[in-house]
Amino acid sequence: MSDGASDRIPFLDLRPGPDAADVRSAIHRVLARGWFVLGPEVEEFEAEFAAASGAKHAVGVGNGTDACFLALRAVGIGPGDEVIVPAMTAAFTGLAVLAAGATPVFADVDPETLTLDPQACEAAVSARTRAIVPVHLYGQAADVDAITGIAATHGLAVIEDCCQAHLATAKGVPVGTQGAAGAFSFYPTKNLGGIGDGAVVTNDAATADRLRQLRNGGQTSRYLHAIAGVNSRLDEIQAAVLRVRLMFLRAFTAHRRALAAFYRELLPESAVAIRERDPGHVYHLFPIRSVRREALQTHLARAGVDTLIHYPVPLQAQPAFAHLSPRECPEAMRAAGELLSLPLHPRMQTGDVLRVVEAIRAFERGTIHA
């Protein structure tokens, strides 16, 4: 949070906030107990996060990529299968599909919301398609109704990538609960951020049981490995910290939404905000589109406003996926050249938003910071 006009407005502020004392107490509690992996803190957090997410089960894992990859494996996705993924997302969504042994197939995005375009998704379905991974991008739900409809028509599993969408809803229904499972990340920058790690939510008890087995080396009992699992376990300190921060999440989400509404009210028309499809948007990020992005970013930096670009290279253009000969995704490519994420986090206040908007207006007026 900035105190005056001379201070920079950071893109994000991860310093201890109102939860600091409780976080320290939680860490000390774990250290005093001496149980550090898959213990009581994890069990309590899983129950609390499942309840907060509107799901019957939550399974803590090593990170958000593992959450997606293990969810795919838990529903039987593997070698020879294709999985449809939106082209506009972090590369880790596609990498999770590769980790499961399957092939990611990239589909273009809606030009206004940048989430998976249902028409492009359906066009990407082939005889080998077994699953769809819609990404709830920037905190906004994808068109879940349309995507689950496509999945039902073709007999496909849906694994929701909720890594940027803690507590988000789609038409009032919590994300992660309409498909087979939902993958979450607790990377420090997320709306619910720890020091890392992730979780999978599901309403299916058998899927939850398989996830618990897969994350722990495929063990059915100590030292007996029935299937080839992995080592992807949520540790006790992470769980303890996340339990504390989960208590603050609804208030922080409300503050994010208020800041986003203020941005939308004040921004000039030239700074095109991504359309809010659903009021369940939780505003993990607040990107705008500008055909003069590089010049605008330079101007804002000189004005003391930090920004980032999410994501400059869409998945179909990533070298890591070039061997797949991906199809063209023109909307994702166009957006990748225009997107600029403005600061938005719980430590910000309305005065910070005013400063950001005034700096953008100065850019439009040609009042360039030297």
Indicate whether 12 belongs to any domain.
no
pLDDT at 369: 55
Please tell me whether residues 92 and 215 are part of one structural domain.
yes
Are 14 and 311 in contact, with CB atoms under 8 Å apart? no
Are 136 and 161 in contact, with CB atoms under 8 Å apart? yes
pLDDT at 4: 40
Please tell me whether residues 80 and 228 are part of one structural domain.
yes
pLDDT at 5: 44
Q: What is the DSSP string of 109-171?
A: B-TTT-SBPHHHHHHT--TTEEEE--B-GGG----HHHHHHHHHHHT-EEEEE-TT-TT-EET
User: What pLDDT, in 10s, does the model give residues 260-313?
Assistant: 999 999 999 888 999 999 999 999 999 999 999 999 999 999 999 999 999 999
Please tell me whether residues 145 and 176 are part of one structural domain.
yes
Please tell me whether residues 112 and 217 are part of one structural domain.
yes
pLDDT at 241: 93
Please tell me whether residues 30 and 89 are part of one structural domain.
yes
Please tell me whether residues 212 and 351 are part of one structural domain.
no
pLDDT at 6: 54
Distance CA 151, CA 160 (A): 12
Domain total in the chain: 2
Please tell me whether residues 109 and 35 are part of one structural domain.
yes
Please tell me whether residues 189 and 258 are part of one structural domain.
no
User: How would you classify the pairing of strands 82-86 and 103-107?
Assistant: parallel
Indicate whether 8 belongs to any domain.
no
Last residue of a domain, one of 210, 243, 276: 243
Indicate whether 255 belongs to any domain.
yes
Distance CA 169, CA 111 (A): 21
Name 284's bridge partners. Answer: none
User: How would you classify the pairing of strands 103-107 and 286-289?
Assistant: unpaired
- List, for the chain, all residue ranges whose pLDDT scores fall below the cut of 70: 1-6, 196, 368-370
pLDDT at 1: 41
Are 126 and 82 in contact, with CB atoms under 8 Å apart? yes
pTM: 0.93
Please tell me whether residues 321 and 355 are part of one structural domain.
yes
Indicate whether 168 belongs to any domain.
yes
Last residue of a domain, one of 225, 243, 261: 243
The boundaries of the domain holding residue 167 are 20-243
Please tell me whether residues 202 and 80 are part of one structural domain.
yes
